[in-house]
Chain A
Amino acid sequence: MNRTIVPVVVSASVLALAACSTAADPGAGESSGGTTDLAASITQLDGYTDGTSAEAWQSMLDECSDETGVAIERQSLPTSQMMPTILRQASSRSMANLIFVDNPNVQQIAATGALAPLDSLGLSADGYPDGIAAAGSYDGSLYGLAPGVNALALFYNKDILADAGVEPPTTWDELRAAAAELTTGNTYGLSMALLPTEEGTWQFLPFFWGAGAELTDVGSDEAVEALTFVQGLFDDGSVSASALNWNQAEAGDQFTAGQAAMTITGSWSVANFDKAASVDYGIVPIPAADGSAAPVALGGEVGVISQADDAEMAAAAAVLECMTSPEHQTYWAEQHAYIPGQTAVAEEYGAATPTMQAFVDAVASARPRTDDLGEAYPTTSTALIEAVQNALTGQLSPADALNAAASSVSSGQ
């Protein structure tokens, strides 16, 4: 059981408990009664259903329940069901008190007025990098905080690269040349996941942003440059056409099976790759067009609190504060290979776990997808991945595909 780690953390947790209740007090209003202001129980909704992460999350919830004295009724759902469920609960006014939702959806939900601003509950984004704070904010108020986040990087198979005498690529030219050279027999140079969903957009964004394109103008020359580059990887045969249909788990399986020399995936994959133990891998940033590290999108789930009576919101805030305490940030990072949200905690974690340093760096500069567009992001995201698919299947040229996307975005507004 995961509980075995508890004793190590316990003394710190007790301190955190004290911190929690005092921090929650101002938000709960009245008296000095400490935990008396908190509701006895809250409901919590999360998307961690698979084995290890579900268990790790549960043990964090258990500890926070003990620390705050608030009973937590947990609901966990497959991620595809998260938004439908949240909306359903919103319409029947039965939203979970505390919800951990994928960060690009935070603004959608905040825009409805269903969420409580965290500032008024005594929580703040102090110590978090700007990107994470921005991803959790809407209209100038903070609505979400995360125990951990993630980002994409380039994984490479050390043995295959060494055998071929190829160095990990640091520019687009190197990436394209390396991918082509590493493609032999049953092995592709690179695997990625460009399926027609948000997951596909998220994988394309490092190239999009890496060329200098912006989501506010998906038809720009820079956008065309990015798509043309990715198309080149497909045309060379360096990426399997199946990538148009793979999700990230499948793209990662190609890598662990030795059928892809490199793969683009997020920090969480480290846990799976280590478990599979079939590949000796290294991690480098995804290169941008100019040879620097490409800006990647910020990933991960953010805890938000729904409008309810004061005692319930205070209780949810206390639990959220506990879930995002440094100890739990580190624990979640160790269990789920996420990067701790707060900069100081992340740096400490990076120092203790050097393989993750590339992600610690990536997260520090990662951009929230909703930064420029806010709640309008989903329309653009859908149009963008559609353009990517249209170009990579040869239906349209990159320029035509992106222009079509740009006009569908503008007509949709």
Chain B
Amino acid sequence: MAVSALSVPRPVAAPALPLLERRRRLAGAAFLAPAALYMIVFFGYPMVHNLVMGSQDYSVSSFYTGDAPFVGFDNYAAIFSDPAFWPTLGRTAMFTVASIVFQFVIGLALAVFFVRRFPLSGVIRALLLLPWLLPLVVSASVWRWIFDQDNGILNIALRGAGVIDEPIGWLNTVAWSLVSVIITNIWIGIPFNLVLLHGGLQAIPGSLYEAAALDGAGPWRQFTHISWPLLKPVTQVTLVLGLVYTLKVFDVIAVMTGGGPASSSQTLTVWSYQLSFNEFLFGQGAAVGNLLIVIALIAGLAYVRSAQQSLRSAS
């Protein structure tokens, strides 16, 4: 869009716009052009590629020969009629919602707590971001040991405290595997939520709280009447990005359970990968990937609507 607007400065349209406004638009388009170009090459091309692949019978041979028969919606039909589809969709929803809700609530609670100043608050807050520095394969592996049925520190601690008598098979029972990967994913996501929300809270002028305190508003009222409403734009960004990043989670599940046991922790992303690289059904794998993109489209629409509102109010 931006590129074509830049390359076609049609003089005919000029009289309608004041010169200054026209120059302004051009400048804006020029600022946007590198990003647009980058995105077309590095995101547009792969996306189109994946869309096309989703309607092809793409096999191992297709990679070499380039031949992949067009099959229309066959791949989608195969996915929807696969007995694994609905359970996988349900688990994906569960994984995503639970991860986002807990990441957000815990991140927000921590942000509210750390927005106050006390000795060491800055350093401790910085240290809380440490989980983020670890490569996913490492943090997932560490959690894997913590959850281990026989030797994991979690079961050892719970048994020591008398909470349970028999060790829980966190990673190897159908009942617990999804819970375990969700817990891990929440842990990984807390720093991200904390940083964004803390930043948002910091930007709220302290004078608002002081005025509210003079009016006799307690901490809870201050939170519900000042912090929460003013935090709304940040909340939106955090939740939408959280959704996008959570739907995409692959490494954590792959390392901890591989989607098992008996597929009990398999999400759409993991399924897409397995269809492609375990069964070599690349068309179906791409179709599942496209389904995820559709979900993101919906979330993206919601975000853009609210973002445009704020653009309107800003200018």
Contacts and interface: CB of A to CB of B under 8 A. Distances in A.
Direct contact of A and B (CB under 8 A): yes
Interface of A: 83-84, 87-88, 90-91, 108-109, 111-114, 186, 195-198, 240-245, 259, 375, 378-379, 382, 386, 389-390, 392-395, 408, 412
* Residue of B259, B260, B261, B264 with most chain A CB atoms under a 10 A cut-off: B261
Per DSSP, are chain B's interface residues mostly helix, strand or loop, or mixed?
A: loop
A-B pairs, top 4 by smallest CB distance, nearest first, are: A112-B64, A196-B260, A112-B61, A389-B262
Contacts of B61: 111-113
A74 to B, nearest CB: 23
Contact of A245 (B66, B83, B261, B280): B261
A88 B49 CA distance: 13
Contacts of B258: 195-197, 245
Contacts of B174: 393-395
Contacts of A392: 261-262
Contact of B278 (A109, A112, A378, A390): A378
B60 A109 contact: yes
Nearest to B144: A245
A259 B150 CA distance: 10
Contacts of A389: 260-263
Contacts of B83: 408
A253 to B, nearest CB: 10
* Residue of A113, A195, A245, A393 with most chain B CB atoms under a 10 A cut-off: A245
B260 A245 contact: yes
Contacts of A186: 150
Interface of B: 60-61, 63-66, 83, 148-151, 169, 171-174, 257-264, 274, 277-280
Per DSSP, are chain A's interface residues mostly helix, strand or loop, or mixed?
A: helix
B102 to A, nearest CB: 24
Given A108-B280, A378-B279, A393 B173 contact: yes
Contact of A379 (B150, B169, B262, B279): B279
Given A113-B61, A242-B150, 8 more contacts: A88-B63, A112-B60, A186-B150, A245-B257, A259-B151, A393-B261, A394-B174, A395-B174
Nearest to B175: A393
Nearest to B152: A242
20 contacts: A83-B277, A90-B64, A111-B61, A114-B64, A186-B150, A196-B263, A197-B258, A197-B278, A198-B278, A240-B149, A240-B150, A242-B172, A259-B151, A375-B60, A379-B279, A386-B262, A386-B263, A392-B261, A392-B262, A393-B172
B2 to A, nearest CB: 30
Nearest to A383: B279
Contacts of A114: 64
